[in-house]
Amino acid sequence: MLIIMVALLLLLLSSSLLQVGAIASAESGETQVLPGCIYNSPCGNVTIPYPFGIGISTQDQAPCYLDRKFELTCSKNSKLVRADKTSEILDIKPEGQFVVMIPVSKYCSTEEHTPVTLGVSNFSISNKENQFITVGCDSYGYLDSTYDGNTYSTGCLTRCHGNQIVFDNGNCSGIGCCEVDIPPRMTNISVKASSFTTSSELPSLNCSYSFVAMKDTYTFSSTHLERNGFPFEELPVVIDWAVGEFHETCTSYNSKTYACKNNTKCDDSDTDFGYRCRCKEGYAGNPYLHPHGCTGSFLFIQSVTLSISSFLHCFLAMGIYHQNSIYFSNINA
């Protein structure tokens, strides 16, 4: 009897381990792309989870990406860039963000200035993960966003005059460097640095710089105020991505192109545009992948664990009862 009970216990343990293996497989990189879209060497060491993708599937000749806004390409076999080749992608987070390099807008004179644009009509720059910054003296910068026929702007300014100005290196305090939070729903952005002084009035070592940057990636130094002292041509920016068209939500979407697959739920609680797909509680994997979506149930493992726990409890109780029965039988004898 004891051998049978131990064998049953081992069987239950084996089942739970197999289920854990299935979940681990669901979370592995192998299940992050469509069939036939295996990237032998990740471009720029960036993992590319679907709905993003490069090229065409070798299995059915279908695109490896959900739609054109998720299309990527590998530039010179070393940098992962968007299909329009305008910006390098450093990281893609399946939860709904990617990190991209965006140039710095520079203004040194009316003849020497570089505004910056980033066309992301279906995505938005993260207002939680980024800040808008302007560096310079007598400087100001704008961040403009245009969508749905409307234009929105934010910005900041910094002025400093005199021979004994004290700058707080390491701190964007408003003197030599200013920063502001970014409003939500900023898409199709343009960044422009400028100066309050005219070209003829500008000191020889003074330029203005404006840019969006991921928080904690830029540290101010007074040396950045010099004409050739600013060390960055571009900085990382976090972009929020979602699926669906511009005005689609979880309650109003095109059923023919609905992106959430099996064992998933729709989530638009933290999106500026469109919606995201999440695995239901107890499941793991890529919620956008056709046809399986999320797989593997943690609830099953929990039930197996409870079953094993109950089994062991009963097994020990039976052992104790059996020992007590023998003890009292010996006494009565």
Per-residue pLDDT of the chain (333 residues; tens, 9 = 90+): 444 454 444 444 444 444 444 444 444 444 688 888 877 666 878 999 999 999 999 989 999 999 999 999 988 778 899 887 778 999 999 999 999 999 999 998 888 888 898 887 779 999 999 999 999 988 999 999 988 788 999 999 998 877 667 888 999 999 999 999 999 989 999 999 999 875 555 554 578 999 999 999 999 999 998 878 999 999 999 999 999 988 899 999 999 999 999 999 999 998 989 999 999 999 999 999 977 789 875 555 555 555 555 555 555 555 544 454 444 444 455
Residues 113 and 234 in one domain: yes
Residues 261 and 311 in one domain: yes
Which residues, in sequence order, are CB contacts of 63 under 8 Å at separation 6+? 53, 55, 56, 57, 71
Asked if residue 159 is part of any domain, the answer here is yes
State which of 240, 275, 300 marks the end of a domain: 240
Alpha-carbon span 18 to 23, nearest angstrom:
9
Asked if residue 51 is part of any domain, the answer here is no
Asked if residue 104 is part of any domain, the answer here is yes
- Total length of the chain: 333
Residue 102, pLDDT score: 95
Asked if residue 50 is part of any domain, the answer here is no
Residues 229 and 263 in one domain: no
Name the residue type at position 8: L
Residues 103 and 205 in one domain: yes
Asked if residue 324 is part of any domain, the answer here is no
Helix (H) / strand (E) element for 235: namely strand 234-240
Residues 1 and 110 in one domain: no
Tally of domains within the chain: 2
Asked if residue 280 is part of any domain, the answer here is yes
State which of 240, 267, 301 marks the end of a domain: 240
Asked if residue 101 is part of any domain, the answer here is yes
Residues 16 and 136 in one domain: no
Alpha-carbon span 193 to 179, nearest angstrom:
13
Residues 126 and 222 in one domain: yes
Residues 102 and 216 in one domain: yes
Nearest to 19 by CA among 224, 296, 247: 296
Residues 185 and 146 in one domain: yes
State which of 208, 240, 272 marks the end of a domain: 240
Residue 183, pLDDT score: 92
Residues 109 and 179 in one domain: yes
Q: Dihedral of CA 180/181/184/186: which sign?
A: positive
Residue 45, pLDDT score: 85
Residues 168 and 107 in one domain: yes
Question: Please, what's the b/e burial string for 161-181 (b: 16 or more CB within 10 A of its CB; e: otherwise)?
Answer: eeeeeebeeeebeebbbbbee
Residue 270's domain spans which residues?
1-37+256-315
Residue 23, pLDDT score: 45
Asked if residue 292 is part of any domain, the answer here is yes
Residues 128 and 214 in one domain: yes
Residue 103, pLDDT score: 95
> Would you say 227 and 204 are in contact if contact means Cβ atoms under 8 Å apart?
yes
Q: How far is CA 28 from CA 23, 47, 120, 160, in A?
A: 9, 11, 29, 53
